[in-house]
Amino acid sequence: MGGAKVFVIGGGPSLEQFDLSLLEKEDTICVNQAVFDVPNPTYLITCDYTFLHKVGRQRVANSPAKKIFVAQFIGDTLQDIDSQIVDTQHNMVYDLSPFDQIIRAKTRSGLGLTFSDFRSGGNSGYCGLQLAVLPGYREIRLLGFDLGLKGRRTHYHDAYRSSPEKFQKKLDAYLKEFIIGIEQLGKEMPEVEIYSSSPFSRLNDYIPMKEGV
């Protein structure tokens, strides 16, 4: 797949104000829970194995999207053992059978220009941005990438709960990775336009804001 424009759908509370049905005929990269709320999703991407437990393995398997899991081989927690991905910290073999594609990310920061050099940014939302670069899209629209809270709301949905204080600390770290990736994209691929479509995103200080579809 790949074309002129793709929407990457995160989980920020600004999506409460967006009509996701408008995306039915658009190419979409859905991060985690968004895949169940966007009509006719193109991709699902996550680097969070606990996502399967939060929403149900079969529910993920039933999604019509192309389902992509990003395994973060950054540090020593994950290892490839006998062609299986093993979480050595929790002594657990990942069952990734619901996914169509497994990406092994060995670098956190920046943007890779091939799947073998895929960068994770340490979070699923960043994986969505990284994925958008690879099929040749020329306009990337980030929806629900607020990187901040709305009051004490962490997400547009209530599918899983997070401590607002702890989640904000994570978002602060994620923002640093997004800034690095956006700056690299501007230098190495100036032909690719990237926009925020979240009215109160912290990314609006770094990329233009573009509302609507």
Q: How far apart are the C-alpha atoms of 178 and 163, rounded to whole Å?
A: 22
Burial of 31 (0-12, 13-18, 19+ CB in 10 A): buried
Residue with token string 């709320």? 37
Burial of 73 (0-12, 13-18, 19+ CB in 10 A): middle
Question: What are the structural domains of the chain?
Answer: 5-203 (3.90.1480)
Helix (H) or strand (E) holding 68: strand 66-72
What is the pLDDT at residue 3? 66
SS3 44: strand
In tens, the pLDDT along 40-71 reads 999 999 999 999 988 999 999 999 999 999 99
What is the pLDDT at residue 177? 97
CA angle (181 as vertex; 78, 184 as ends), nearest 5: 130
